[in-house]
Amino acid sequence: MPGKRLGLIAARKTAGLSQECLAEHMDVDRSTVQRWESGQSTPQPCHRPKLARVLGISDDKLAELLADPPCSDDQLQTTPAVVTTPRRGDTGGGQQAEGSDLLAFPAGGDPTDRRQAVTLLGMSTLGTGAVHAELDQFSQSAVEAMEFTRRAEASHLGPRTLEHLDSVISGMAAAYHRTSPGELFPKVRWYRRQVEDFIAGRHTLREGRELYRHAGSLSIILAWLSNDLGDPVTAEAHCVDAWEHGWQAEDHEICAWAMDAKTTILTYSNQLAAARDAAERGLKQVPQGNAAAVAVSVQLARAYARLGQADQFQEILKDAQTRFDQLDHQSSGLFSVHSGALASYTATSYIWLGQPDRAIPYAKETISFCQDRSLSQREPTRETLAHLNLAQAHVDLGQPGDAAEHIEQALNSERINSSVLSRLGDLTVCLQHKYPQLDMTKELADRHREMVASLSRPKLLE
């Protein structure tokens, strides 16, 4: 006969949900939840994974609760009522819960049997309000201790949620260099919103730190993508968000990667002192012996080069090279550093310092490195910037003919972003100043205007 699935009711109340709230989470009517709890029906297999997740229990635990025979009204009347403490989602401040939602200790037995009290609590998973009034203080304390333990481990996250997020973020970071920013941005943003929902929900302290770490990583990717799409203000906002979540999670590597992105954003926005300060801030936080330490070091060196401070540039670059040599291995993806990245930043720095002859070998090294990589590891933007460095070096050395080939290579890049357009704009201005009569100069100016206009109206795939 229909009765009451006490374990299922207890799991709902433990999760702090009323029947209405649970129905809303499950996209069903309240009457459906009532039938589940009364034993009149059983959740369909398609509903069970989500139900377990919402209740914060495992799939096996849910199957166990559903398999328990419902307790009839006659059986309930043989046990004393229990006063429960209202929880989030329940109605009635301080009032006894409705009879249909009561959980009770079975009548009889020694009321001071603390082992039985703890066992009953473990079976019911009810809150501290379920402490029987007749239990002595030690029994009540034992029950409370188990409830405190249960609350510490209570979570709405599925058992594989964090593992899934790890995989997703790794995949997005790996896809960053070879995927259109307009295509990738909405996907990363969707996951960032999901993580924010998880943070707002029930989770353990350990899970919370992991969620903050994932939030920081996703915001770093969004910062780079926003900058690529020509919106430095949004990009910097995501850097600030990434830093804060990394700081709260006590993950200083996330903080360093946030400053790595912010330094580039500020450098190309011509906020040079702020770019230097961001790199120094990241370097103070970054743990030694990892890729983030190298990335922030070379960013700081490049910031000094952009400021025209050659001595400081050389000193920090030497430090970055030492850090790089101490790494166990090179890696790929957005959260990585390799010899091609060091060569690329060094070439750019020598261009900014007005030493084109020293920039050329590093630019060639970058191109060679990029072309030797597999298709899945190619970084077209880095290769494009290397061609622009070579073109700029040849123009500075009075060799515009040698620059033409590298300009064409850059214009045919499969991934044009705001950094490329900024460097292309610098090259255009230089050509107009030095060689205004060349056809190449006018053609480059026209192409640059078209590309800037195109980037200012990016298409974000929904």
Residue-level pLDDT at 165:
93
pLDDT of 123 reads: 44
* Pair 97, 129 in one domain: yes
Average pLDDT over residues 171-189: 91
CA distance 122 to 78: 21
pLDDT per residue as tens digits for the range 228-244: 998 999 999 999 999 99
In a domain, 229, yes or no: yes
Query: Can you give the pLDDT at residue 60?
Result: 86
Q: What is the CATH number of the domain that holds 189?
A: 1.25.40.10
* CB-CB contact of 225 with 234 (8 Å): no
* Degrees to nearest 5, angle at CA 240 with 238 and 246: 100
- Find out whether 385 and 419 touch, Cβ atoms under 8 Å: yes
Q: Which two tokens stand for residue 293?
A: 């330490």
pLDDT at 189 (0 to 100): 94
Long-range contacts of 361-366 (CB under 8 A, 24+ apart): 362/389, 363/387, 363/389, 363/390, 363/393, 364/390, 365/339, 365/340, 366/340
Only one residue has tokens 């059983």, namely: 42
pLDDT at 56 over 90: no
Using DSSP's 3-state secondary structure scheme, residue 228 falls into helix
Average pLDDT rounded to a whole number, residues 156-181: 89
Average pLDDT over residues 307-319: 96
d(C-alpha 391, C-alpha 186), whole Å? 34
Proportion of the chain above pLDDT 90, given as a percent: 51
Higher pLDDT, 63 or 261: 261
Q: What is the pLDDT of residue 313?
A: 96
Claim to verify: residue 148 and residue 168 sit in the same structural domain: no
Predicted pLDDT of residue 73: 54
Beta carbons of 108 and 60 less than 8 angstroms apart: no
pLDDT for residue 399 = 93
Side chain identity at residue 187, one-letter code = K
Given 153, 170, 189, the domain boundary residue is 153
Are the CB atoms for 235 and 417 separated by under 8 Å? no
**Domains contained in the chain, number:** 3
Residue of 332, 321, 320, 331 whose CA lies nearest to 379: 332
**389 inside domain:** yes
Note the pLDDT of residue 318: 95
**How far apart are alpha carbons 345 and 305 in whole angstroms?**
10
244 and 165 in a common domain: yes
d(Cα 261, Cα 384) in Å, to the nearest integer?
Answer: 19
Distance CA 258, CA 268 (A): 16
Amino acid at 88: R
Please, which pLDDT band fits residue 261 given cuts at 50, 70 and 90? very high
Determine which of 101-115, 160-174, 383-397, 425-439 has the lowest per-residue pLDDT on average. Answer: 101-115
How distant is the alpha carbon of residue 148 from its chain centre? 30
126, 153, 180 — which closes off a domain?
Answer: 153
Is residue 53 very low, low, confident or very high in pLDDT (cuts 50, 70, 90)? Answer: confident
HSE (side-chain half, CA atoms, 13 Å) at 397: 17
Percentage, residues of the chain above pLDDT 70: 83
Q: What pLDDT score does 76 carry? A: 46
Residue 362 falls within a domain, yes or no?
Answer: no
> Which pLDDT value is given to residue 2?
57
One domain for residues 320 and 447:
no
Q: Is residue 290 part of a domain?
A: yes
Statement to judge: residues 168 and 149 lie in one domain = no
What value does the mean pLDDT take over residues 73-77?
51
Q: Per residue in 95-117, pLDDT tens?
A: 333 333 433 333 444 444 444 44
φ/ψ of residue 379, rounded to 5:
-125, 85
DSSP bridge pairs for 4: 71
The answer to whether 256 and 337 have CB atoms below 8 angstroms apart is: no
Q: Looking up tokens 């500020």, which residue turns up?
A: 266
Q: Please report the pLDDT score of residue 330 as a whole number.
A: 66
Distance CA 273, CA 82 (A): 66
* 168 and 302 assigned to the same domain: yes
Predicted pLDDT of residue 107: 40
Inter-axis angle of helices 6-14 and 114-124, to 10 degrees?
80
Phi/psi for 378 (5° steps) reads -65, 145
Of 124, 153, 182, which closes a domain?
153
Verify that 317 and 204 share a domain, yes or no.
yes
* d(C-alpha 449, C-alpha 361), whole Å: 30
Specify whether the CB–CB gap between 13 and 126 falls below 8 A: yes
Alpha-carbon 117 to chain mean position: 43
Average pLDDT of the residues in 157-184: 89
What is the crossing angle of helices 400-411 and 439-455, to 10°? 30
- pLDDT value at residue 457: 58
Flag whether pLDDT at 135 surpasses 80.
no
With respect to residue 189, please indicate whether it lies within any of the assigned structural domains: yes
Which tokens go with 294? 């190298």
Residue 375 neighbours by CB distance under 10 Å: 6
Q: Is the pLDDT of residue 13 over 90?
A: no
Q: Give the pLDDT confidence score for residue 331 in this predicted structure.
A: 67
**Do both 93 and 119 map to the same domain?**
yes
User: Would you say residue 397 has pLDDT above 50?
Assistant: yes
| Number of other residues whose CB lies within 10 A of the CB of residue 357 | 10
Residue 342 inside a domain? The answer is no
Cα dihedral across residues 368, 369, 373, 376: positive or negative: negative
Better pLDDT: 9 or 107: 9
Nearest CA among 425, 429, 434 for reference residue 401: 434
Task: Give the chain's mean pLDDT.
Answer: 83
Does residue 200 sit within a domain?
Answer: yes
Q: CA 27: distance to chain centroid?
A: 28
Whether 356 maps to a domain, the answer reads no
* 332 plus 191 within the same structural domain: yes
Calculate mean pLDDT across residues 86-98. Answer: 39
| 146 and 206 both lie in a single domain | no
167 shares its domain with 144: no
Q: How does residue 197 score in pLDDT terms, banded at 50, 70 and 90?
A: very high
Q: What is the mean pLDDT of residues 2-6?
A: 75
pLDDT in tens, 324-371: 998 887 667 889 899 999 999 999 999 999 999 999 999 999 999 999
pLDDT for residue 92 is more than 80: no
Give me the CATH number covering residue 35: 1.10.260.40
pLDDT number for residue 1: 46
Q: What confidence category does residue 462 fall into, taking pLDDT thresholds of 50, 70 and 90?
A: low
More confident residue, 106 or 290: 290
Domain at 379, CATH number: 1.25.40
Q: Indicate whether 80 pLDDT > 80.
A: no
Indicate whether 331 and 421 sit together in one domain: no
Lowest-confidence pick of 6-20, 68-82, 235-249, 430-444: 68-82
Give the domain extent around 207.
161-337
**Does residue 133 register a pLDDT over 70?**
no
CB 293 within 8 A of CB 256: yes
Which residue from 160, 125, 164 is spatially nearest to 143, judged by alpha carbons? Answer: 125
